[in-house]
Amino acid sequence: MQNHGGWAEWTGPGGPRPDIGVLRSDDHGRSWRSIAKGLPSDFGFPIVVHPHDPDTVYVMPLEPATRTCPGGAPAVWRSENGGDSWSRLAKGLPKRESYFTILRDAMTIDELKTPALYFGTTTGQFWIGRDSGEKFECLFDALPPIHNVKVAVV
């Protein structure tokens, strides 16, 4: 998810910066195409790729004006075909009036056969989505703002 204009003068590998949005490159960054069709927003920070299936991608879209979950109803969106279509994963997440933000480095995935997703919010909630995000559970609800989430299997 490319979501800011902070590198408008980019002239690095692949030439000029790609457009803003949820994008995919199949040629190591030489060209980009939008994969945002079907998402509630093409703005947001976190995107993670399944550790065993590169066509399975998870994103957390946000409202551009407020940088919060669209409609106050958080959801992780999963594509199992490289961004051609998306499904909403929200079981266990608040259904309404939940206006939190998930920063760029605050969502990750573990490397188990059936991985779990993890994300932290700027309002101090830490969530786990077991079974590839099929059901979410809030593990901690009163932490300081979470800027980065990393996990390891031990």
Q: Are strands 87-89 and 23-24 parallel, antiparallel or unpaired?
A: unpaired
Q: What is the pLDDT of residue 39?
A: 93
Q: What is the pLDDT of residue 144?
A: 97
Tens-digit pLDDT profile for the chain (154 aa)?
443 444 445 555 555 555 678 888 888 877 888 889 999 988 888 899 999 999 999 999 988 888 888 888 999 999 999 999 999 999 999 998 888 899 989 999 999 999 999 999 999 999 999 999 999 999 999 999 999 999 998 8
Q: What is the pTM of this model?
A: 0.85
Which secondary-structure segment (H or E) carries 8? none
Q: What is the pLDDT of residue 81?
A: 95
User: Are the C-beta atoms of 128 and 114 separated by less than 8 Å?
Assistant: no
Q: What is the pLDDT of residue 15?
A: 57
Residue 75's contacts (CB-CB under 8 Å, 6 or more residues apart) are 60, 69, 88, 89, 90, 93
Q: What is the pLDDT of residue 16?
A: 59
Please, what sign has the CA dihedral across residues 121, 138, 107, 71? negative
